[in-house]
Amino acid sequence: MKRKDVIKKITSNGCVLLRRGRRHDLYVNPATKKKQPLPRHNEIDDGLAKHIIKELT
């Protein structure tokens, strides 16, 4: 899955970028206070992308 598609899905559910890192960006859901790192690769494995979306929504 493309990184930009994952970002669209999690930001549409209310998640915000907490900080940028060298290898990962950290997104947080303010409603649930859950944090999840998102790799800075252009392509993210489908299983990992589903896990990130599930954890933050």
Q: Please name the amino acid found at residue 10.
A: I
What tens digit of pLDDT does each residue of 1-57 get? 999 999 999 999 999 999 999 999 999 999 999 999 999 999 999 999 999 999 998
Does residue 15 sit in helix, strand or coil? coil
Residue spans of the domains in the chain: they are 3-56
pTM of the model: 0.90
| pLDDT for res 57 | 85
| pLDDT for res 40 | 94
User: Which CATH number is 3-56 given?
Assistant: 3.30.920
Cα pseudo-dihedral 37, 28, 21, 40, rounded to 10: 50
| pLDDT for res 32 | 93
